[in-house]
């Protein structure tokens, strides 16, 4: 029977899940930037250790001196997190595989793999959109469900802190925007408790970007930058550096978008600042294994009318120092 081809080992949970990791995946703007590191875990829950870390200078001593600086243990608390379960379903009906070999020289196995890949590709697109939505939410401090209102994770409540905000006062022509950049950089230094970073990047809404780049104290620098970067051939909504900050217009569509005049300043190069953790699938075959970004599994439909498939991912995206993601207002 034609449907027997789906009993091939290529469609087992292990082989199918590994195969879909190789399919084209188009991440969103935040995901593409590499801000979020990724790590698989073996359970659906995990904890991170929060410490009131402060940096101190280490005094010099003569070589061979018996004692060095004694490290005082910081008070630490474990903060638990639960991964999310994001399943999608698809079907391959018997009618879809009837007479498919007439299309060319594909073997039955190749034809079946093409059908499965086509179904999974759509799941991957929706998954990429969802991951961008959740990672943008993590930068905002709240990861929301698909309805846009249900709060899945509130990082400020979880860590017991308030959101850091800073106003650029762009509505006032006399504002020294360069000085505002200096001030917000100092605020970032404070919120990172002396931890170094390699740069600052601001993701801003279109309205914020327009107000920023047309402000009296920025307009000339933006015009010069446009000229030097050949603005007729280059998208001028990204890459503009002013006041030591890279300004990037966040281009999304609802619900994955920034609100009017909304913006966030992100420190770059901070180890484990933002992470996405992946738990294993809820299949017997994956118990005790390290989580992958996504999984797929298939089983026969009722009356053997086709195959029913599931694509699933079990991620959670968090920011470990939410106070260091500064919300900017125009």
Q: Is 63 within a domain?
A: no
Co-location of 166 and 297 in the same domain: no
* Count, residues in the chain: 330
Highest mean pLDDT among 12-26, 75-89, 266-280, 292-306: 266-280
- Grade residue 53 by pLDDT with cuts at 50, 70 and 90: very low
Q: How many domains does the chain have?
A: 2
> What's the predicted TM-score (pTM) here?
0.86
- Grade residue 62 by pLDDT with cuts at 50, 70 and 90: low
Task: Give dist(CA 134, CA 10) in Å, integer.
Answer: 32
Please report, rounded to a whole number, the percentage of residues in the chain having pLDDT higher than 70.
84
Q: Which of 64-68, 125-129, 263-267, 287-291 has the lowest mean pLDDT?
A: 64-68
Q: Which of 22-31, 59-68, 283-292, 295-304 has the lowest mean pLDDT?
A: 59-68
Q: Is 181 within a domain?
A: yes
What average pLDDT does this structure show over 15-19? 77
Co-location of 221 and 310 in the same domain: no
Q: Which of 83-92, 201-210, 233-242 has the lowest mean pLDDT?
A: 233-242
Please determine, for residue 283, whether its predicted confidence score (pLDDT) is greater than 50.
Answer: yes
Q: Is 73 within a domain?
A: no
Co-location of 175 and 239 in the same domain: yes
Co-location of 121 and 15 in the same domain: yes
Q: Which of 62-76, 148-162, 183-197 has the lowest mean pLDDT?
A: 62-76
Alpha-carbon separation of residue 74 from 180, 206, 214 (angstroms): 34, 42, 47
Q: What is the pLDDT of residue 291?
A: 96
Co-location of 229 and 138 in the same domain: no
Co-location of 241 and 131 in the same domain: no
Strand pairing category for 240-242 and 245-249 = antiparallel
Co-location of 121 and 213 in the same domain: no
Co-location of 41 and 148 in the same domain: yes
Co-location of 124 and 17 in the same domain: yes
Say which CATH number the domain at 227 has.
3.30.1930
**Domain of residue 199, residue span:** 162-272+323-329
Q: Is 71 within a domain?
A: no
Co-location of 187 and 215 in the same domain: yes
- Grade residue 54 by pLDDT with cuts at 50, 70 and 90: very low
Co-location of 267 and 280 in the same domain: no
Q: Is 74 within a domain?
A: no
Q: What is the pLDDT of residues 120-160, one digit of tens each?
A: 888 998 999 999 999 999 999 999 999 999 999 999 999 99
Co-location of 281 and 250 in the same domain: no
Tell me the pLDDT of the chain averaged across its residues: 86
What average pLDDT does this structure show over 52-70? 53
Per the CB < 8 A criterion, the answer to whether 79 and 159 are in contact is yes
Per the CB < 8 A criterion, the answer to whether 328 and 204 are in contact is yes
Q: What is the pLDDT of residue 55?
A: 45
Q: Which of 17-26, 165-174, 186-195, 234-243 has the lowest mean pLDDT?
A: 17-26
Q: Is 206 within a domain?
A: yes
Q: Is 168 within a domain?
A: yes
Q: Is 182 within a domain?
A: yes
Per the CB < 8 A criterion, the answer to whether 166 and 328 are in contact is yes
């Amino acid at each position: 029977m034609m449907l027997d081809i789906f009993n091939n080992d290529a469609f087992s949970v292990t082989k199918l899940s590994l195969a879909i990791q190789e399919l084209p995946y188009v991440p969103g703007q935040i995901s593409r930037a590499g801000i979020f590191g990724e790590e698989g875990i073996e359970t659906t829950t995990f904890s991170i250790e929060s410490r009131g870390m402060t940096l101190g200078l280490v005094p010099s001593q003569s070589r061979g001196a018996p004692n060095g600086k004694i490290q005082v243990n910081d008070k630490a608390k474990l903060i638990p997190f639960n991964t999310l379960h994001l399943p999608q379903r698809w079907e391959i009906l018997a009618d879809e595989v009837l007479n498919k070999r007439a299309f060319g020289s594909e073997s039955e196995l190749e034809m079946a793999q093409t059908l499965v890949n086509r179904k999974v590709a759509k799941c991957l697109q929706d998954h990429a959109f969802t991951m961008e939505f959740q990672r943008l939410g993590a930068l905002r401090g709240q990861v929301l469900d698909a309805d846009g209102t249900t709060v899945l994770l509130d990082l400020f409540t979880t860590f017991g802190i308030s959101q850091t905000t800073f106003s650029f006062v762009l509505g006032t022509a006399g504002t020294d925007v360069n000085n505002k950049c200096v001030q917000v950089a100092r605020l970032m230094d404070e919120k990172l408790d002396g931890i170094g970073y390699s740069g600052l990047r601001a993701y801003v809404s279109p309205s914020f970007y327009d107000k920023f780049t047309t402000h009296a104290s920025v307009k000339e620098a933006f015009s010069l930058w446009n000229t030097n970067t050949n603005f007729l051939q280059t998208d001028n909504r990204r890459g503009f550096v002013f006041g030591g900050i890279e300004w990037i217009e966040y281009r999304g569509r609802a619900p994955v978008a920034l609100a009017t005049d909304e913006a966030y300043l992100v420190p770059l190069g901070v180890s484990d600042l933002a992470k996405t953790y992946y738990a294993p699938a809820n299949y017997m075959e994956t118990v005790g294994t390290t989580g992958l970004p996504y999984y797929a599994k298939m089983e026969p439909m009722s009356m053997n009318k086709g195959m029913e498939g599931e694509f699933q991912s079990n991620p959670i995206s968090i920011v470990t120092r939410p106070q260091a993601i500064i919300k900017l207002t125009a």
